[in-house]
Every structure is written in C-alpha cells, then in structure tokens.
Amino acid sequence: MSLETWLLFILVALVPAVSPGPGVMLAIHNTLRFGRNATLASATGNAVGLVVIGLSVAFGFGALMATSAAAFTVLKLIGAAYLIYIGIKVWRDKSGFNALDDALSPRKSYHALFLQAFLVSVTNPKAILVITALFPQFMAKDGIHLDQAAVLSFTYATLCWANHAGIAFAGNSVRRFLTSEKRLKMTRRLTGGLFIGFGAALAGASR
C-alpha cells in the first residue's frame, strides 16, 4: 500500500470514526461517570473490537454478513439487546454522572470496561458493514493481503481510539457543568435514551 493510498484512507475514514454512535456514547458515559483513565480503557476495548472486525472482513466474514440474512439478523438482535440493556442501566442509575470527586473511582474494573466496549464494538453489524464497504476500496483486488488488512484495521481503530481519548480528556471540563441534580438527571436520561434509541434503530436495521 502506497503512502498516498494510506493518507487517502485516513481522510475518508475520519468521517465514520468521529461520527456519533454507540461507541462514542459509551465513551461519553464512561468519561462523565468514571473518569479519564476508565474511558481510555474502554476506548482500547472498542479499538481492539474494530481490529477484530477489520481482519475478519479481510477473510470474508463481512461478505457473509452482507449476504446471509440469518447471520445478519442474529448479530443485529444481539447488538440491539446489549445496547438497550446498557441504556436502561444508565437511565436507572441515579448515581450515574455524579460530579462529586469520589465518583471518579470506577465501580467497574478497567478489564470490565474494556470488555463492555469490546462487546459493543463487535456486536454492531453497522460497523461491520461500514468496514466491509470501506476497506476493499483500498486493498488490492488480487486476493487477501493480510498486511494491507492489518494496516487498514489498525489505522481505523487508532482514529476511533483518538476520538474517544479526546472525549476522555475533555470530560473534566464537562463534569464541572454537572453540579446540579437537575442537570445530572437530564444527562443520565439523555444518554440512556440515546443508547436505547441506538438499540431500537439497530433492531430495525436492514442490510
């Protein structure tokens, strides 16, 4: 892969990398609820999930998802149910987004945050289909090239990780705004509602 092709890929991939989605909302939630380091852990889980998807696409999993209605439906429903579950938990957690200093100590381990973000990433068929549509445009047409797939996968995952890291480092400023019960309740319900909305939209998505 030439340097020009790689730079063009970065330019094109920036749009889906920074677009709002379940991964971004999870990063915002973790930043406000648990703090910077927790979000970096979840950002890493999301990135690893994207690498797994990227390499899987190179070996035909993306093509299977694009052509098999049963495979797409199963993964779609799993992803939708998980997002709705997260949304309900955020909505009902009255301590969520607490702006007090002691709320920065995560109740979850970094391993749990990593795993949660990883599951959100790999169970989102829309992410699979985006990568399926994007990667082949920048790969050689004469068969599978693991080195190219690896470069594209790690590049895209890094772009998404950087976006989540930016959210993490901006989080402290946002937390200062959340000093009233009314604002906390509004933010909690907005975030939880968005997760539930993402899940519902995913459940009704078609290929």
- Per-residue pLDDT tens digits for 108-117: 788 999 999 9
pLDDT at 191 over 80: no
**Mean pLDDT of all residues in the chain?**
77
pLDDT at 141 over 70: no
Among residues 13, 20, 17, 44, the alpha carbon closest in space to that of 197 is found at 20
pLDDT at 95 over 60: no
Distance of CA 159 to the CA centre of its chain: 12
pLDDT, residue 101, reads 47
Q: Is residue 180 part of a domain?
A: yes
pLDDT at 174 over 50: yes
Please check whether residue 53 is in contact with residue 150, taking contact to mean a CB–CB distance below 8 angstroms: no
* HSE of 100, CA atoms in CB hemisphere, 13 A: 7
How far apart CA 118 and CA 43 sit, in angstroms, is: 9
pLDDT tier for residue 203 given thresholds of 50, 70 and 90: confident
Q: Give the percent of the chain with pLDDT over 90.
A: 18
How many domains, the chain?
Answer: 1
Q: Is residue 16 part of a domain?
A: no
Q: Is residue 51 part of a domain?
A: yes
Domain of 119, in residue numbers:
3-11+22-203
Q: Is residue 17 part of a domain?
A: no
pLDDT at 64 over 70: no
Q: Is residue 66 part of a domain?
A: yes
pLDDT at 107 over 70: no
How far apart CA 113 and CA 118 sit, in angstroms, is: 9
Q: What is the mean pLDDT of residues 13-41?
A: 82
Query: Residue 38: which residues within 8 A CB-CB, separation 6 or more?
Result: 30, 31, 106, 108, 110, 113
